[in-house]
Amino acid sequence: MEDKHKDLIIRMFHAHKSYGAKKALVDINLDIYKNEFLFVTGPSGAGKTTLLKLLYLGEPATEGQILVDGMNLSRIPAKRTPFLRRKFGVIFQDYKLIANKTVFDNIALVLEAAGKNRKMLVKKVNSVLRMVGMEDKRGMLPPSLSGGEQQRIAVARAVVGDPKIILADEPTGSLDPESADIIFDLLARFHMLGGTLIVATHDRNLLQKPGCRIIRLQHGQMVN
């Protein structure tokens, strides 16, 4: 129990999120441990995306406490937010790649923002491009790539900064089954290397994967 507590990386304690009168998340209590592979599932509008947003301070919680790797998000000053976000790699259903930047530049942005030197940056970006099998596409612009390829770039961008946690919001939602498998394999690799993975999805195929914890949200509440 003692050891397990030491491995706690995220704790949500009576976390609430409201948008005006609409309650998006209600009384969420959730502990997530290092190297855990967690699926957050539930119907559309259940609060999966909101839950992920609360973790990287895309939105602040309305009530309750959230601790991420020792940082209390309700007390973190605005200027420290970027440092919190560097603990995460975030993957979105719509990829969120910068259309007028090359594949290489999109990935390099993470390291540039963290102030890494050019030599190290080039080495690291090339390494993750190799990992996702997109080395030959480094000079291309995202709109010229397929959905599956863009999502592989998004995965590369998420892992390039060596984050402790990856948050993936419907990462396979707009992909064909073959591309979805590739993305899942890449995520599983990150997990195998010791990373913590939180995936919001209602993709039943993904939920079949063994060794993962699943939590279910409904109307903003955890139901099991």
Partner 1 sequence: MLFFIRKALKDIADNRLLNGVAIITIALSVLIVSAFGLFYINADELLTSWKSGIRVMAYLSPSVDDKTISDTKQMIQTMAGVEAVTFISKDEALETFRKQLKGQASLLDNLKGNPLPDAFELRLYPDTRTEGRVEALAKQIESLAAITDVEYGQKWVGSMLSVLNLFRFAGYAMGALFFMATVFIVANTIRLILYSRRDEVEIMRLVGATDGFIQAPFIIEGMLQGLAGAVFGLGALFISYLFIASNIGQDYFGSGFIIRFFPFETCGLIVMASMMIGWIGCYLSLKQFLK
Nearer to partner 1, 197 or 222 (CB): 197
Least Cβ distance, residue 100 to partner 1 (angstroms) = 7
Nearer to partner 1, 40 or 158 (CB): 158
Least Cβ distance, residue 145 to partner 1 (angstroms) = 16
Nearer to partner 1, 103 or 215 (CB): 103
Least Cβ distance, residue 88 to partner 1 (angstroms) = 8
d(CA 177, CA 124): 29
47: its two tokens: 């609060």
Least Cβ distance, residue 6 to partner 1 (angstroms) = 26
Least Cβ distance, residue 210 to partner 1 (angstroms) = 31
d(CA 147, CA 30): 32
Nearer to partner 1, 152 or 157 (CB): 157
Nearer to partner 1, 196 or 215 (CB): 196
Would you say 54 and 10 are in contact if contact means Cβ atoms under 8 Å apart? no
Residues that bind partner 1 (CB under 8 A): 56, 58, 79, 82-86, 90, 96-101, 109-110, 112-114, 157, 161
At residue 32, the 3 state secondary structure works out as: strand
Nearest Cα neighbor of 33 from 189, 162, 177, 197 is 197
| End-to-end Cα separation, the chain, in angstroms | 22
Q: What angle do CA 10, 16, 19 make, to 5 degrees?
A: 130
Beta-carbon contacts of residue 82 (< 8 Å; ≥ 6 apart): 113
Nearest Cα neighbor of 143 from 179, 95, 180 is 95
